[in-house]
Amino acid sequence: MPGKWDWLKDEMGGVSKITKFSTVMKFLKGRVSGPDDMTKCAMCPNMCRHACPISIVDGKETTSPAGKSRVGMMVDHDVLPMDEENLYPMLMCLSCGCCERWCPFDFSVSDILRAEKEKGVEEGVIFEEFQEMFDNLGNYGLVQGEIKKKKSYPNQGDVLYLRGCEFRGDDEKVIGKTMGAFEKLGLDAFVLSDEECCGIPAYNAGNTQLFKKLARKMAKRINDSGAEKVITSCPSCAYAYRKLYPEFGLDIDVEVLHIVEYLEQKKDILGKKKGTVTFHDPCKLVNGLENKKGMKDVLEKIGLNVKVPRRSGEKTFCCGYGGSTVCRLNEYLSSKISEERLDELSSLSDKIITSCPTCKKAFEENGNLKVYDIGELLYELL
């Protein structure tokens, strides 16, 4: 696959040194000055469109990356009203950051549109499809609401394992196996019995007040836990704790790692069993946590024969359910993106590994294969 700057190298190939120099200077000046980011993006000829899962599957101008920014810009300048019709395209974004990998300005459209989404919520433009999520987060601190059947795990130890809402609500088995894998790796892991959501679903939907309320609680609980290290199965949680919380003045005092990052640091994790697998790199691991290598090396280190998808590492693709907004407003589109990704993965192997609770659920709901989380895979191989 070509790289981000290949087009520029091609364009510059036959021109004089003076022209090259002045073009590069103009480009650099444009990056640091000129109009605001949303206007720059709105005026762009959609140079990242080929990598945006929404654009690839939806194919509409309004939901293309620059299309969303154009609507955002017009709402911002009061050319269009802030209402559901105009907020909708801005919410057709998976917060996957696939645009950022190709953007000459290093923009992620989800970041560019944050202020508009926040303004929408503040002005009371709240889609009824989000209300249940907001109520559950506000009342129970979890996306799914109250979890009635709770399994108990140790609540003291050295390493705090944060499970994330998705596994707690739907896949308790993965939690048990991940805790088992930690034990096999010699970790003294524990959980927080009062773990709540990191708040990122509220953040993505523009409800910053609710995000801040959840973030304050979780930052305090983690800092009071006495853990030496935090490991989580969810790359969005790790992204929230490491990248978003500090932006809101909330620092986590201990190292927070996604499970893949922890396994990267471990030298000796050779599994007793072998096999052939393929994998899906979660976009929040690769683009959010900037782990450009993704999962390939870790899977090889475990001793597996790894089939590498065309879109992996820094060129990964979204499962269709990232960002919490598209799957609630247009589930058909989310499932189409999932199917598109599954076609690619299942052509390589019938054993698909991921390391994100949302991706696992998305693929299992939209295909016929069992999809493994890396925690449960590890438990079975060690």
DSSP sequence for 145-173:
----S-------SSEEEE--HHHHHH-HH
List the interface residues with ligand SF4, window 108-167 (CB under 6 A). Answer: 108-110
Please identify, among the stretches 40-48, 227-235, 300-308, 340-348, the one whose residues bind ligand SF4 according to the rule CB under 6 A: 40-48
Q: Residue 69's beta-bridge partner residues? A: none
Q: Binding ligand SF4 by CB under 6 A: which of 44, 175, 198, 345?
A: 44
Task: Establish if 94 lies at the interface with ligand SF4 (CB under 6 A).
Answer: yes
The H or E element containing residue 233 is none
Please identify, among the stretches 14-22, 26-34, 65-73, 255-263, the one whose residues bind ligand SF4 according to the rule CB under 6 A: 65-73
Sequence letter at residue 64: S
Distances (CA, A) of 50 to 26, 61, 162: 25, 13, 35
List the interface residues with ligand SF4, window 324-343 (CB under 6 A). Answer: none
Task: Establish if 204 lies at the interface with ligand SF4 (CB under 6 A).
Answer: no
Q: CA-to-CA distance for 170 and 163, rounded, in angstroms?
A: 11
Task: Establish if 65 lies at the interface with ligand SF4 (CB under 6 A).
Answer: yes
List the interface residues with ligand SF4, window 74-93 (CB under 6 A). Answer: 93
Task: Establish if 107 lies at the interface with ligand SF4 (CB under 6 A).
Answer: yes
Q: What number of residues does the chain have?
A: 382
Using the 8-state DSSP alphabet, how is residue 13 labeled?
T
Rg (C-alpha) for the chain, rounded Å, is 21
Task: Establish if 96 lies at the interface with ligand SF4 (CB under 6 A).
Answer: yes
* CB 263 to ligand SF4: min, Å: 26
Please identify, among the stretches 106-114, 147-155, 178-186, 349-357, the one whose residues bind ligand SF4 according to the rule CB under 6 A: 106-114
Q: CA-to-CA distance for 327 and 320, rounded, in angstroms?
A: 8
Task: Establish if 39 lies at the interface with ligand SF4 (CB under 6 A).
Answer: no
Task: Establish if 256 lies at the interface with ligand SF4 (CB under 6 A).
Answer: no
Task: Establish if 95 lies at the interface with ligand SF4 (CB under 6 A).
Answer: yes
Using the 8-state DSSP alphabet, how is residue 244 labeled?
I
The token pair that represents 265 in the structure block? 């640091």
* CB 151 to ligand SF4: min, Å: 35
Neighbours of 374 (CB within 10 A): 25
Using the 8-state DSSP alphabet, how is residue 240 labeled?
I
> 133 and 143 in contact (C-beta within 8 Å)?
yes
Of the pair 41, 371, the CB lying nearest ligand SF4 is at: 41
Task: Establish if 319 lies at the interface with ligand SF4 (CB under 6 A).
Answer: no
Number of residues that bind ligand SF4 (CB under 6 A): 26
Please identify, among the stretches 6-14, 62-70, 123-131, 223-231, the one whose residues bind ligand SF4 according to the rule CB under 6 A: 62-70
Of the pair 177, 280, the CB lying nearest ligand SF4 is at: 280
Using a 10 angstrom Cβ sphere, with 0-12 exposed, 13-18 middle and 19 or more buried, the burial of residue 164 is: buried
Helices 331-346, 357-366: crossing angle, 10 deg rounding: 90
What is the contact surface with ligand SF4 in residues (CB under 6 A)? 40-41, 44, 46-48, 52-54, 65-66, 69, 93-99, 102-103, 105, 107-110
